[in-house]
Structure 1
Amino acid sequence: MSDNSLVPRSVARMPWGLLLVVTMLTGFGLLVLYSAASGRLMPWALPQGVRFLAFLGGALILSRLSEQQLKDIAWPIYLLLLLLLFGVEALGAVSGGSRRWLDLKIIRLQPSELMKPAIVLVLARFYDMMPAAEVRRFSAIWPAALLIGAPFLLVLVQPDLGTALMIAFGGVVAMYLAGVPKRLFIGAAVAVAALTPIALHAMHDYQRRRIEIFLSPESDPLGAGYHIIQSQIAIGSGGITGKGFLRGTQSHLDYLPEGHTDFVFATMAEEWGLLGGLGIILAYGFVIGWGMRVAMRARSRFGRIAGAGLASTIFFYVAINLLMVMGLAPVVGIPLPLVSFGGSAMMTVLICLGLLMAIDRQGRARNR
């Protein structure tokens, strides 16, 4: 710190614009949760605000890690989470027909959520250790496929298709950024398309039903298609400016299921309209764009792969949820991070942002 500076260098170089946008986005989410509870802080808004402050503090702690420390923890964290996923299968708590959590008495831990940033870190480390000339060889592909496939299958059998797909998406993005030949991704896409009938047959009945209802929600308007139809009604009835704060009817009259979690965007759109929806999308666009700029500024291969992979993880959260609530994708139980009630998605996204801030700090230090 220079003698004439009143602000420590570490404070001045914090990404204050990012932190402001994230705080404003979460604050807007708290208003939506407050309204969804008919103007009460409990049971959603107040606990959500406390979680945010705690997880934001954790993200700021993560931002102080060096790139070498991130490399050092990548493999241990991945292996620990893989063991915890096996633990979920053997000892996990069942809720809503799925076995996804480990009950540690103090906290209910969902290892599959933490695996989303962990898969990006471990693949970035794997390819960082490998000579660039080796990336296009088979020896660079099958280990990465195993690293992705193990948690993917463990989460798929919980069953949690949405989270399994997000783990796979994050891993595939890291492989692509590392330089794995594009023809392999094309071949994999063709193979997936060919195996789709088999996958549909192996799915649980409720998972197949979700896909059928996505294609034709009107076929069961009072059953499986109810969520999508009510969500579309809520979004459409909001118009340009919305019905007004605390004036939503779909959520307040309990027509909209899960209006505080998976379908919170529909709750928001009814009261704040198209303008509120565009505001949220622009805020997420700023956050994701900042993450991609961090990746592009990174001087190391690890930083570029990890940075873009973490930013893509946040993008997948937002894109899948918005497509889901608008009826453009099957309902797979992916919440809208920082806005939906619940700690898992918020924790994962703030971990991603903390890691991105660490990569950004490292990149700025090298550029001096």
Structure 2
Amino acid sequence: MNSNFDRTLSSEDDVLRRRAGLLQRLHIDGILLLLLLILAAGSLFILYSASGKNVALLIKQASSFGIGLVGMFIIAQLEPRFMARWVPLAYLAGVGLLVAVDVMGHNAMGATRWINIPGVIRFQPSEFMKIIMPATIAWYLSGRSLPPRLKHICISLALILVPFVLILLQPDLGTSLLVIASGAFVLFMAGLQWRWILGAVTALVPVAVGMWFFVLREYQKQRVLTFLNPESDPLGSGWNIIQSKAAIGSGGVLGKGWLLGTQSHLDFLPESHTDFIIAVLAEEFGLVGVCLLLLMYVLLIARGLVITVQAQTLFGKLLAGALTMTFFVYVFVNIGMVSGLLPVVGVPLPFISYGGTSLITLLSGFGILMSIHTHRKWITQV
């Protein structure tokens, strides 16, 4: 009987090895793929409710998921050294598109952030810089001695500031901060000396003051003031955050149930299918639903950090770490602003909020992680 049991275990092990081998040959990380598919399925349920049962919008989001998954699979087939060779061209193309947005971009809700080709495509070039930016700094620093010298730090900062300024002028403060953070993470992981880090932190105060008086627009200043005291204008600028906190609090532990949320369905909660979608999740699925979503994010970030540690090239290590940490900031900023812990800066919730360009960009980033992990000379089972 024991021999039969042993043969069964051996047979199951062989099946697992063959499956792992297939995924490896396809350059797909099974853990990341499983987590992404779970998020994709869950997000469509939430979006259906948050959008007021808008089937057309749901089909668009599902289509973006499909396109993003295909793009992720294609990118995963490319070797990291091949991608590194094309990074400079991608950076120039990205900056060129940002300039094109300023010249001929499509304006919506007071911001010019999109390139619109009627009947063909409409996309937001700044989203692509969330991947191109860390790849550029990783490419530049991987060919230099580390920790980076002052000259290399200055060149890296110049490469970061060009798209940052172009995106800030659209205006899009949230995306510009994510782009500058993605580049800064590469510098940090490259072994930036603490004196430079402390100097940068110290410089934040005068920089923030300068931005307040010379860069931020009136509505952006109002967002900061609203963050400090939402009740100062409950029917105006404070409306969004007050209704968001009300939706989150009303969900309790288990929530009101799917499609039974009142804040979003009665139109109290603005932007319920984009920036504030986690408030809909909290109202309908409660603390339990939010914790499950956070668990999925934690697992994705943990897997990204494992891939970073196991990367065999400096370029791969810097890029994987920066993409993972940028994803963490993405999640942190959205949840922080929706819950009133941070000012509202217009950052969508990864994989949950509606948005085709953002979704495709995120999946492309995970395609890069898969490429870094599967194009190794030796494979360690994790």
TM-score tier after normalising by the smaller chain length: over 0.9
In 1: Cα distance, 2:18 partner to 2:79 partner:
25
Query: What does residue 75 of structure 2 align with?
Result: 62
**Cα gap change, 1:139/1:12 in structure 2, threshold over 3 Å: closer, same or farther?**
closer
In 2: Cα distance, 1:253 partner to 1:190 partner:
46
Query: Residue by residue, what CA displacement relative to the aligned partner does 1:308-339 show, whole Å, maximum 9, x if unpaired?
Result: 00111211111100001001001100000111
Q: How do 1:89-238 residues align onto structure 2 when only pairs under 5 Å count?
A: 89-105=102-118, 106-132=120-146, 135-202=147-214, 203-238=216-251
**Cα gap change, 1:8/1:315 in structure 2, threshold over 3 Å: closer, same or farther?**
closer
- How does the TM-score come out when normalised to structure 1? 0.95
Query: What does residue 18 of structure 1 align with?
Result: 32
Shift of 1:188: 1.4
Correspondence for 1:85 among 71, 82, 98: 98
Matched, 1:277 2:287: no
Contact 2:141 2:148 in 1 (8 A): no
Correspondence for 1:287 among 300, 304, 313: 300
Shift of 1:44: 2.4
Q: Using the TM superposition, name which of 15-24 and 41-50 deviates more.
A: 41-50
Query: Residue by residue, what CA displacement relative to the aligned partner does 1:88-136 show, whole Å, maximum 9, x if unpaired?
Result: 111111111111111133111211110011011111110111123xx44
In 1: Cα distance, 2:148 partner to 2:133 partner:
20
**Cα gap change, 1:364/1:341 in structure 2, threshold over 3 Å: closer, same or farther?**
farther
In 2: Cα distance, 1:165 partner to 1:240 partner:
33
- Can you give the 5+ residue segments of structure 2 that lack an aligned partner in the other structure? 1-13
In 2: Cα distance, 1:93 partner to 1:327 partner:
31
Shift of 1:255: 0.4
Shift of 1:12: 4.9
1:115 aligned partner, one-letter code: M
Q: Using the TM superposition, name which of 177-186 and 333-342 deviates more.
A: 177-186
In 2: Cα distance, 1:8 partner to 1:183 partner:
45
% identical aligned pairs: 38
1:129 aligned partner, one-letter code: G
Shift of 1:236: 0.3
In 1: Cα distance, 2:142 partner to 2:210 partner:
36
Contact 2:311 2:373 in 1 (8 A): yes
Shift of 1:221: 0.5
In 2: Cα distance, 1:73 partner to 1:104 partner:
26
In 2: Cα distance, 1:364 partner to 1:98 partner:
47
In 1: Cα distance, 2:24 partner to 2:150 partner:
45
* SS in structure 2 at match of 1:141: helix
**Cα gap change, 1:162/1:6 in structure 2, threshold over 3 Å: closer, same or farther?**
closer
Shift of 1:50: 1.6
Correspondence for 2:338 among 322, 325, 347: 325
Q: Using the TM superposition, name which of 183-192 and 304-313 deviates more.
A: 183-192
Shift of 1:307: 0.4
Matched, 1:296 2:336: no
In 2: Cα distance, 1:136 partner to 1:129 partner:
10
Shift of 1:365: 4.0
Shift of 1:364: 5.8
Contact 2:91 2:133 in 1 (8 A): yes
Shift of 1:362: 1.8
1:140 aligned partner, one-letter code: H
* SS in structure 2 at match of 1:47: helix
In 2: Cα distance, 1:6 partner to 1:131 partner:
41
Shift of 1:21: 1.4
Root mean square deviation, CA, Å: 1.8
Q: How do 1:299-318 residues align onto structure 2 when only pairs under 5 Å count?
A: 299-318=312-331
Query: Residue by residue, what CA displacement relative to the aligned partner does 1:6-29 show, whole Å, maximum 9, x if unpaired?
Result: 658342563222211111112111
- Can you give the 5+ residue segments of structure 1 that lack an aligned partner in the other structure? none
- How does the TM-score come out when normalised to structure 2? 0.91
In 2: Cα distance, 1:124 partner to 1:359 partner:
13
Contact 1:82 1:151 in 2 (8 A): yes
In 2: Cα distance, 1:256 partner to 1:364 partner:
51
Query: Residue by residue, what CA displacement relative to the aligned partner does 1:59-110 show, whole Å, maximum 9, x if unpaired?
Result: 0110011021111111111111011111111111111111111113311121
Contact 2:72 2:364 in 1 (8 A): yes
Pairs aligned (count): 363
Contact 2:320 2:372 in 1 (8 A): yes
**Cα gap change, 1:242/1:300 in structure 2, threshold over 3 Å: closer, same or farther?**
same
2:197 aligned partner, one-letter code: F
Query: What does residue 51 of structure 1 align with?
Result: 64
